[in-house]
Chain A
Amino acid sequence: MNPTSAYQKISEKIALISATMKMLGWTVLGITLLGALIGVHALSAKIDEELKLHGDAIYGTGRIRIFEVKFRALLAQIELERRDGVSFQKHVQDLSEAAERGTALFSAYSNAGIVKDVTGRLAYTREVITPDGIVAGKELLAVWFPLERKIKAVAQQGDKLNPAVIADALREADQSSLKFISLSERLAREEDNYHKAKLSRLTLSRNLLGLYFAATTGLLIPLVILTGRMEKLRESETRFRKLFEDSAEAILILEDGVFVDCNRAAFAILGVTDPERIRHISPQSLSPEFQPDGRRSDEKAAEMIAYAFERGSNLFEWMHLRVDGTPFMAEVLLTPIQDKGRRRLHVVWRDITERKQAEQVRLKLLAELERSNQDLEKFAYIASHDLQEPLRMVSSYTQLLAEKYRGKLDEKADKYIFYAVDGATRMHDLIRDLLAYASVHKTESALPEIQCSELVRDALRNLSCAIESSRATVIVGELPVIRADRILMLQVFQNLIGNAVKFSNPNNPRIEISSRKEGREWFFEIRDNGIGIDPQFHERIFGIFQRLHDRKKYQGTGIGLAVVKKIVEQYDGRIWVESNLGQGACFAFSFPEK
């Protein structure tokens, strides 16, 4: 075998492997060449020469360093081990264990024996070469094979190895597990047979630390071990880069106070077309002098960055400037990146200008609503107060008139006076109730717990006259504790129970007050066996000043249920009635669990 042609073959192989690795996005850190039996001396000599020439031998397109070449040195190593008295078996065992732990940096297929890897650990191959020749140890294979997870023959005999085939094989390979893909078939051991064994084989060995890539080919059986360190990183970096670039969120990398990288979304948000415009500029120069809270941007930015490093992340709102100087509100997320001791930050910007604007509109509307509510309350108060004054005059003086001139005027005059007084009195009642309705609003402060049973007891006491005169039987069931304004809830119960009494059955009137819980709500029921309500009026009765009956028969302004509805709805409850004419009524309302 011509050493030069052998060397060329190796070179070609290395070029092929390098191309493959590059294609997969790996970094080639090192190559270990193990010579084959034939022409090994010449090969070593050739590589030695190359090393002398360049220091680093460059093969193919990858940057390749040759770590270890010398076959004879390996042999010497074996000799040394032997002389040390450490058994070969022991070495093999050590290596196997190391491999199992995922710490063996090295494995190789070769006709060579124990080799030393870049870290100085011993590695072994399936066959051991001694100065006496090849020892194909069957016992060694027995140790070796349990470590093999998968045997993949990438190419069949006579195939040409091409990068795409190898790349496919590698993609299939499990990323994380210890994997040795070794030659499934032994090359012929006898020197004579090498010529015949035109196998194109690929040996891949992987462990957690890296990829060992070995290929053999027909004639020479050169073994090339490429140490591609942390190829996974590289691969994930490619993936990350794509994610980074394609992300809809603006992502920037901040290092030592300046942006060193950013994605397309960041350009878009800033209105930049030339990436160089934001490279090496600071976040402060993309900010106005002061933030909306009045703090200086530079001071606050330093604080935010320090906080991110301290806490592991920092999410906050920040006013930035586009390159044309228009401000935008951003939600900024800073996350430190541990990277070779550098102080790097992963920065995400989300343009929240629209959200902010919507928020402002919302706040403005709320303020307007608040103001208009206040105005309304003030109006109701003033109106009721000021309307009552002249009304009192009408009422008082008509009454005075009636008193002073009783009998001096005719009967008709007395009737007119009655109408005037009655009208004024009714108007007074309406105004009073309108005021009560307008002033229903729950307090914002923490609500106290109230025992509904006590509330109902108080309501019944307030209604005692009406209840006694109606001779109604009142049954009060279990009632819960709720959180609400006491006075408002008393109004609810008093109005509903009062109605039940007012519209009660003249014979054997009966009123039941009960509650039950469903989900996160309480349901209260006030049920009577009274006159009932035609379903067509079920909606209407909750309206303000809605009455279904003659005032002479049933007194009231028609405000009670409207007040009750308003109160219940203020607590996110609902109120309704179930009833038919003449069949009693059941007023029910829901109330959220405290």
Chain B
Amino acid sequence: MSRKINLLLVENNPGDADLVAEMLRSNQSSCGLFHVSNGVEAMAFLRKEGDYNQSPSPDLILMDLSMPQMSGAEVLREIKTDASLRMIPVIIMSSSRSNHDVEELYSLQASAYIEKPIDLERFKQIICAIDAFWIQVVRYSLRGGNE
């Protein structure tokens, strides 16, 4: 674990954003968490535009599907067609159970599709699992981060 893994959370619902943050915190995750609340902000963050010119390059993106202006799928498409961003794994979180959504997002190169659970305990398990695998196990490109 040579360096801190940066996680960009793209979540429109502040309640969910807080939950994710709360769960990561209670799991004592080592990641650096950054939060933007929609797709437009997410792209600005990733491209270090405007207020985000000092932002780090995230190693992993955790993104909600339903967002105003730019949906999660649109953001994902843009990330994956941008040569400088496409190597960043994107995990989609959604309350949609639609198989069509699942198929569409995987075909857009989502790294994982996770259904947001109604049960808090289950939510906690999921966040812990993400932390255990994506933060603790997975190795990322050395170009990532802001060091």
- Which positions 377-436 of chain A face chain B at CB distance < 8 Å? 381, 385, 388-389, 391-393, 395-397, 399-400, 403, 424-425, 428, 432, 435
Q: How far is the CA of A385 from the CA of B98 in the complex (A)?
A: 10
Q: Which residues of A contact B95 (CB under 8 A)?
A: 385, 388-389, 392
Q: Provided the pairs A389-B95, A432-B97 are in contact, do residues A395 and B120 lie with their beta carbons within 8 angstroms?
A: yes
Contact of B116 among A392, A400, A425, A435 (CB under 8 A): A392
Q: Provided the pairs A385-B96, A432-B97 are in contact, do residues A393 and B118 lie with their beta carbons within 8 angstroms?
A: no
For A432, give the chain B residue with the smallest CB separation. B97
Q: Which residues of A contact B118 (CB under 8 A)?
A: 388, 391-392, 395-396, 424-425, 428
- Asked whether any CB of chain A lies closer than 8 Å to the CB of B119, the reply is yes
Mask: chain B, 28-55; 1 = CB below 8 Å from A; 0 = not: 0000000000000000000000000000
Q: Which residues of A contact B104 (CB under 8 A)?
A: none
- Which positions 82-114 of chain B face chain A at CB distance < 8 Å? 95-98
Beta-carbon contact of B96 and A396 below 8 Å? no
- Asked whether any CB of chain A lies closer than 8 Å to the CB of B123, the reply is yes
Q: Which residues of B contact A424 (CB under 8 A)?
A: 118
Contact of A403 among B19, B96, B120 (CB under 8 A): B120
* Residue among B16, B22, B98, B119 with most chain A CB within 10 A: B119
Q: How far is the CA of A399 from the CA of B41 in the complex (A)?
A: 31
Mask: chain B, 115-140; 1 = CB below 8 Å from A; 0 = not: 01011110100000000000000000
Q: How far is the CA of A400 from the CA of B98 in the complex (A)?
A: 27
Contact of A393 among B13, B22, B97, B121 (CB under 8 A): B13
CB of B103 to closest CB in A, whole Å? 15
Main secondary structure of the interface of A (DSSP, over half): helix
Contact of B97 among A392, A400, A425, A435 (CB under 8 A): A435
- Asked whether any CB of chain A lies closer than 8 Å to the CB of B71, the reply is no
Q: How far is the CA of A388 from the CA of B93 in the complex (A)?
A: 14
CB of A418 to closest CB in B, whole Å? 13
| Contact count band on A | 10 to 19
Q: Which residues of A contact B13 (CB under 8 A)?
A: 389, 393
Q: How far is the CA of A389 from the CA of B93 in the complex (A)?
A: 12
Q: Which residues of A contact B119 (CB under 8 A)?
A: 395, 399, 425
- Which positions 18-64 of chain A face chain B at CB distance < 8 Å? none
Beta-carbon contact of B120 and A400 below 8 Å? yes
Q: How far is the CA of A400 from the CA of B16 in the complex (A)?
A: 12
CB of B61 to closest CB in A, whole Å? 20
Q: Which residues of A contact B19 (CB under 8 A)?
A: 396, 400
Beta-carbon contact of B98 and A396 below 8 Å? no
CB of B138 to closest CB in A, whole Å? 27
For B15, give the chain A residue with the smallest CB separation. A393
* Residue among B19, B97, B121 with most chain A CB within 10 A: B97
CB of B15 to closest CB in A, whole Å? 4
Q: How far is the CA of A403 from the CA of B98 in the complex (A)?
A: 31
Beta-carbon contact of B120 and A396 below 8 Å? yes
Q: How far is the CA of A385 from the CA of B94 in the complex (A)?
A: 9
CB of B104 to closest CB in A, whole Å? 14
Q: Which residues of B contact A428 (CB under 8 A)?
A: 118
* Residue among B13, B116, B118 with most chain A CB within 10 A: B118
Q: Provided the pairs A385-B66, A389-B13 are in contact, do residues A399 and B97 lie with their beta carbons within 8 angstroms?
A: no
Q: How far is the CA of A391 from the CA of B96 in the complex (A)?
A: 14
Beta-carbon contact of A399 and B96 below 8 Å? no
CB of A303 to closest CB in B, whole Å? 46
* Residue among B13, B19, B95, B96 with most chain A CB within 10 A: B95
CB of A129 to closest CB in B, whole Å? 105
- Which positions 178-223 of chain A face chain B at CB distance < 8 Å? none
CB of A429 to closest CB in B, whole Å? 9
Q: How far is the CA of A399 from the CA of B117 in the complex (A)?
A: 13
- Which positions 355-393 of chain A face chain B at CB distance < 8 Å? 381, 385, 388-389, 391-393
Q: How far is the CA of A90 from the CA of B118 in the complex (A)?
A: 114
Question: What are 30 A-B contacts with C-beta separation under 8 Å?
Answer: A381-B98, A385-B66, A385-B95, A385-B96, A388-B118, A389-B66, A389-B95, A391-B118, A392-B95, A393-B13, A393-B15, A393-B16, A395-B120, A396-B19, A396-B118, A396-B120, A396-B123, A399-B119, A399-B120, A399-B121, A400-B19, A400-B22, A400-B120, A403-B120, A424-B118, A425-B118, A425-B119, A428-B118, A432-B97, A435-B97
Q: A388-B118, A400-B120 are in contact. List 10 more A-B contacts (CB 8 A).
A: A381-B98, A385-B95, A385-B96, A389-B95, A392-B16, A393-B15, A393-B16, A396-B120, A400-B22, A403-B120
- In the complex, the 7 A-B pairs of residues with the closest C-beta atoms, listed nearest first: A399-B120, A393-B15, A428-B118, A388-B95, A396-B120, A395-B118, A392-B118
